[in-house]
Structure 1
């Protein structure tokens, strides 16, 4: 079950944290993984970790907000892995300027970056892989999102939440266009992860029903299901992975 042998995957933002966990999990199930990150050294480190444990991975450093760069990176990954990409996991979502702050005090020059990496980044990556998936009659698109897309917050997340809301809508429409051609598209909305908690980990975890934060392994396991043959009837959905902190 959940065997991905013979499949190839691109995971964006996979040089660290949840993205690295996703790349490791896909590789452990047999997929060959193109490890993307904006920082080449991080992509190389994750790819090296996978190959050191017997998996297949290649680094694929590029900027997901640069359409030409995405197309070139995908082309190179196809060449290095020997076939087209079957699985896309768009995990990259934190811009250098996260855009955090009360909206009324944010300079308009800061509005664009969260949207560029989340929404346009997803559009760029989907555009680069979708035709191959449709022609092959099989593909999996998994978008990593956040509870911030559908739950308001007073903690200065309006730009990030708006960007995530936008990309969730995009994925729902892609799911309908691609479903007749054997391609599924789903979103995984994450609750707070261990890498984002800072010094308040214990206090935050105490308010989550499972009494802990999410880990890269949690995220990787959920993505493996969505990327698997067994998930062929799951498309157009947003699944919440948050320890029960929000239920709907």
Structure 2
């Protein structure tokens, strides 16, 4: 089950953290993977890691907020792997230098990076891969989202949450347009992950985060990778238009 041999995947923001975990999981199940990242070094390093393990992977460094760069980058990566993409994982979603700032303290110019990355960036990537998916009668699009899209939080992530809410709404509509074509579209709303714990966090602070998760631990990139593998597999062909909470039981709805 969950064999991805012969599939070709593009993972945005795949050079580190959750993205790298997704890359490793897809490659481990047999997919050829293009590792996108804004940073060329991170993309190259992640691609080389999975290639060294025997998988096919290429670095695909480009800025997903730049429509022309996405079109060119997707075409170049697909040519390098020898096939159009039938899997897209939109994982890139944290603007460079993102901090936690209350809305009232934000300058309007600080709103745009969240929308450009989480909404327009995802739209650019979907638009670049969706037509070949439809033409071939098979495709899997997975949007990495956040619990902040559905739950109001008081610590300064309002624009991040709003931009994630926007792309989740788009996913629901797109899933219905594409459902007859063999292309599925779903979201994973992530909860508290170990890789986002701030450097220097005290043991007490980490313990407090762990207590907020019913299963008693923080999530790992491998947890996200496993969920993505399922959603892009043939076995998940009857799941589309869903936002699945991947958060250790922190939300139930």
Correspondence for 2:240: 235
Shift of 1:247: 1.1
CA distance, structure 1, for counterparts of residue 212 and residue 146 of structure 2: 18
TM (normalized to structure 2)? 0.97
Q: Is the 8 A contact 1:64 1:124 kept in 2?
A: yes
Once the two structures are superposed, residues 104-124 of structure 1 have per-residue CA deviations (whole angstroms, 9 ceiling, x without a partner) of: 111111010011100001100
Name the SS of the counterpart of 2:129 in structure 1.
Answer: helix
CA distance, structure 2, for counterparts of residue 232 and residue 136 of structure 1: 15
Shift of 1:172: 0.9
Q: Is the 8 A contact 1:99 1:159 kept in 2?
A: no
Structure 2: 5+ residue runs without aligned partners? none
Correspondence for 1:134: 134
The farther-off stretch of 179-188 and 200-209 is 200-209
CA distance, structure 2, for counterparts of residue 8 and residue 186 of structure 1: 18
Match of residue 207, structure 1, among 203, 212, 217:
212
Name the SS of the counterpart of 1:101 in structure 2.
Answer: coil
Correspondence for 1:92: 92
Aligned residues: 248
Structure 1: 5+ residue runs without aligned partners? none
Shift of 1:99: 5.8
Shift of 1:197: 1.4
1:246 has 2:251 as partner: yes
Shift of 1:36: 0.3
Q: How does 1:1-248 map to 2 (within 5 A)?
A: 1-98=1-98, 100-198=100-198, 199=201, 200-248=205-253
Name the SS of the counterpart of 2:71 in structure 1.
Answer: helix
Shift of 1:169: 0.6
